Amino acid sequence: MSVAFLVLALAAASPLAGAPAAPVSAFLAPPEAAPELAAGSLAAGRAEQAIAALEKASAADPRDAAVLINLGIAYAQTGDEERARDAFRQALACEEVVELETADGVATDSRRLARKALKMLERGEFRTPAATAGQLTYRDR
């Protein structure tokens, strides 16, 4: 699983709880439809810029799972794994479960995506190659 799976675009669409069944395409929205999700900044590697926008969006609606997931991704990209973990856990705890679109166009629910993000964080999948370079070991043969 690559980091790009989550990073490029998460777009909130429709609540799942009590919602009538609808085709997956009805839940999908282009990234530009939800600029408060900072998908463009995340995709361009501008995590600090994304954090500023996402913290503002989260302050306006602290129970928006899509914002919290992208905020967690942005924190993870800057190396702040504690805040990333907290944001992912908050997204997981959101009462309203929403259908989200990932960068690769797959629709999934916010809780599943938050759990996946937590696992990716634990495996170090959000770390940049430069950050992990010092963790490599070399063995003489």
DSSP letter string, 25-43: GGT---GGG-GGG-HHHHH
Residue 138 lies in a domain: no
Domain count across the chain: 1
Residue 31 lies in a domain: yes
Residue 68 lies in a domain: yes
The pLDDT of residue 130: 55
Residue 83 lies in a domain: yes
Nearest to 23 by CA among 32, 13, 33, 36: 13
DSSP letter for 24, please. G
Helical segments of 11-109, H only: 39-43, 47-60, 65-77, 81-93
On average, the pLDDT of the chain sits at 75
**CATH number (domain holding residue 9):** 1.25.40.10
Residue 116 lies in a domain: yes
The pLDDT of residue 19: 37
Residue with more model confidence, 26 or 58: 58
101-111 confidence digits (pLDDT tens): 887 888 999 99
Domain that holds residue 112: 4-128
User: Cα–Cα distance between 70 and 5 in angstroms, integer?
Assistant: 12
Distance of CA 98 to the CA centre of its chain: 13
Neighbours of 19 (CB within 10 A): 14
Both structure tokens of 58: 């989260």
pTM for this model (two decimals):
0.72
With a pLDDT cut of 90, the percent of the chain lying above it is 50
